[in-house]
Structure 1
Amino acid sequence: MMHTHKFLVVLATAALACHGTQAVAQNAKKRNIRLGHGIAAEHPLGQASVKFAEIMNRLSGGKIKVKVYPATQLGSETQMIAAVRGGVQEMTIVASAPVATIIKEYLLFDLPLLFQNEKEADAVLDGKLGQRLLDLAPGKGMVGLCYWENGFRQVTNSKHPVVKMEDLSGLKLRVMQNPVYIDSFKALGANAIPMPFTELYSAMETKAIDAEENPIPIIHASKFYEVQKYLSLTNHAYAPYLVLVSKIFWDKLTPEEQAQLRTGCYEGRAFQRHLNRKMTAELVEELKKSGMTVTPVSEAETAKMRERLKPVIERYTQDIGPSIVEQAQREIAEVRGH
């Protein structure tokens, strides 16, 4: 019996020696993160959120568990932002527009026709200005990890193709509850009606609303093709998603855990942007098959819109802060090679 006991002690000691590092990891606290977002699970944001949970599991050796709640299960974007700031929800991924109601500098991303392509957007978001804006979040109870992609926004409606600016005239067009969008579409001649996203489908179904504007993956995931016949590729604004962590939760994490979350955000970003761009191209074709008439908008018409929107851009530049807008324009000009 004695021998067996010694043998077990030796085995146990050997096991401890082998798993010393693991034993330390075992002592690390389990972190449970509820990650909420407002979009359908099959959307690139939904898919990438699940991927992010897998990435965090791998990076933390199973210590950081992320449970994803898609499609406003934890509330609207505005409600989730409030929950994150209050420390009752650990993470959310939301469009920049609702964040701009708390941090006005984020109105930058609502300025119409700021970016011409994804390359310009990536350079600004992943560069100095993107970080300058993220640095404003902790003062409001949030930590911004990085930016994912919502994408270029397009106009859909149930009345007629929108090929030129005049075609927007009089359309009852739903916009986000965001002053830049309201003023931009008013300037373009539409009857801009702010409304929560959750009410939009039924408003279009009952014809209370004629039109709306969103990126292609949202238009498809939300089945807007059932109630909208025309899709116009206006590219009138580029919208990022913000990956936000509750500062109350963040401050409880070790520096290592914080670094893992940042790395996870970057890995998730590469996956999500690639998927979003690939799916956007594919989904335009899907929307055609679903019966939508898809029309591009010419460069000449875009230039006309840009001219009409100048007063709106100038007005909001004062709100955002001229130095922020100038830095954005400078960084975009560098990408354009001017």
Structure 2
Amino acid sequence: MTLTRRLALAAALAVPLAAAPALAQTQITVQHALPANSHTGVGALTFASAFERLTNGRYKVVAQRNDNEREMIESVQIGTIDCTFTSTGPVGNFVPEVRIFDVPFLFRDATHARGVLDSEIGQQVLARFPARGLVGVIWIENGFRNMTNSRREIHTPADLRGLKIRTMENQVHMRAFTTLGALPTPMAFSELVPALQQGTVDGQENPISVIVANNLNQVQRYMTMTRHVYSPQVMICNPQTVGRLNQADRALFQQAAWEAQAANRARVTADDEAGVAELRRRGMTVVTEVDTAAFQAALAPAFAEWERTLDAATLRRIRDWRPN
């Protein structure tokens, strides 16, 4: 086991051991926000099957869909459900340190993003979860976010001006879109499709994997490959759920989580590679000519604010990270 993985296991599962061993067929409920055949569903189902296999059936993991991510996090916090696979967008309202990963154009590519999250930087953020009544088990992902809308092609920040864009309930994302001249409208993912159908919002932003899995091409005409924000996900569990595991089962729990991470990331990579062609096949106009430098320049006031309000030293460590 690598040092990073040993640190991850110690940080994620650092809650008191329970005295009683697990009973046969102890049930664990895991909720996720996207379809079972999505990258998130694949991660949750992989965790379920892996933990059941590794414990020789002593645990039964029930995976359920719930489109309201904030509700899932709250349910984990109070113990109504055991675990959730959730985007980090709403997690910042519970663990503010997570917001540092939401800064636009922070990551160069998937290798950079995954490397940072798996490094000491990511583990230090997971270590903040227990103080908020949550256990951060492992980082997974949605991938890089792209803009869609039903009004026009977007090539520059000027094209975005005045558009009502659904965002997650995330202060960093909302500040970014306000700075770019759009009208950010935070809402739960469960409300998104009706809002797009009714014209409550003009567009939204999500990774290709989410756009494809939820058939957003049916309610959006244009997608622009802005890749403006890397969107992590995180597996979060209730401390008492983890605390009931004996030491050996905790190691198996973490092993199942690593298997889920690998399956999730592989699916995101595959979706990114095939997704553009699939959306074009479905009739969506995909814009690939994007003035990224103009978007970064337009965000300068927001970048200055985030340097003040977030951890500037950690932002520098993230930007400077390189693979060994």
What is the TM-score normalised by the length of structure 2? 0.89
CA distance in 2, matches of 1:87, 1:168: 41
- Counterpart position of 1:32: 27
1:195 and 2:187 aligned: yes
Give SS of 1:115's match.
coil
- Counterpart position of 2:124: 132
* 1:148-205: CA deviation from partner (whole Å, max 9, x where unpaired): 1111000001111112221111111111121111110111121222222211111111
2:255 maps to which of 256, 263, 285: 263
CA distance in 1, matches of 2:200, 2:80: 36
1:46 and 2:41 aligned: yes
1:68 and 2:63 aligned: yes
- Counterpart position of 2:8: none
- Counterpart position of 2:14: none
- Counterpart position of 1:322: 312
Give SS of 1:146's match.
strand
- Deviation of 1:29 (Å): 2.0
Letter in 2 for 1:317: E
Letter in 2 for 1:29: L
8 Å contact 1:44–1:275 — kept in the other structure?
Answer: yes
Kindly report structure 1 stretches of 4+ aligned residues shifted beyond 6 Å.
none
CA distance in 2, matches of 1:244, 1:194: 22
CA distance in 2, matches of 1:315, 1:255: 43
Give SS of 2:227's match.
coil
CA distance in 2, matches of 1:91, 1:28: 17
1:152 and 2:144 aligned: yes
- Deviation of 1:123 (Å): 0.9
Name the structure where helix makes up a greater proportion of residues.
Answer: 1
In structure 2, the gaps of 5 or more residues are 1-20
Identity of aligned residues (%): 31
- Deviation of 1:293 (Å): 0.4
Give SS of 2:93's match.
coil
Give SS of 2:268's match.
helix
CA distance in 1, matches of 2:314, 2:23: 40
In structure 1, the gaps of 5 or more residues are 1-26
8 Å contact 1:106–1:320 — kept in the other structure?
Answer: no
8 Å contact 2:148–2:204 — kept in the other structure?
Answer: yes
8 Å contact 2:22–2:246 — kept in the other structure?
Answer: no
> What pairs up with 1:224-235 in 2 under 5 angstroms?
224-235=216-227
CA distance in 1, matches of 2:108, 2:257: 25
CA distance in 2, matches of 1:89, 1:97: 20
* 1:71-122: CA deviation from partner (whole Å, max 9, x where unpaired): 43xxx21111111111221110111111111111111121011112100001
- Counterpart position of 1:79: 71
8 Å contact 1:141–1:248 — kept in the other structure?
Answer: no
- Counterpart position of 1:169: 161
Structure 1 residues 130-139 or 43-52, which shifts more? 43-52
1:219 and 2:211 aligned: yes
* 1:277-327: CA deviation from partner (whole Å, max 9, x where unpaired): 1022212211111110001144xx211211221221231233332233232
CA distance in 2, matches of 1:292, 1:187: 27
Which one scores higher on RCO, CA 8 angstroms, separation ≥ 6? 2
- Counterpart position of 2:303: 313
Give SS of 2:139's match.
strand
What is the TM-score normalised by the length of structure 1? 0.86
- Counterpart position of 1:106: 98
Superposition RMSD in Å: 1.5
8 Å contact 2:42–2:263 — kept in the other structure?
Answer: no
8 Å contact 2:140–2:234 — kept in the other structure?
Answer: yes
CA distance in 1, matches of 2:306, 2:93: 13
CA distance in 2, matches of 1:248, 1:317: 36
CA distance in 2, matches of 1:258, 1:178: 32
Give SS of 1:189's match.
coil
Give SS of 1:162's match.
coil
Which has the greater radius of gyration?
1
2:235 maps to which of 238, 243, 246: 243
* 1:49-72: CA deviation from partner (whole Å, max 9, x where unpaired): 112111111111111211100243
Give SS of 1:315's match.
helix
8 Å contact 1:149–1:272 — kept in the other structure?
Answer: yes
8 Å contact 2:157–2:298 — kept in the other structure?
Answer: no
- Counterpart position of 1:287: 279
8 Å contact 1:147–1:269 — kept in the other structure?
Answer: yes
CA distance in 1, matches of 2:46, 2:209: 18
CA distance in 1, matches of 2:40, 2:46: 10
Letter in 2 for 1:59: L
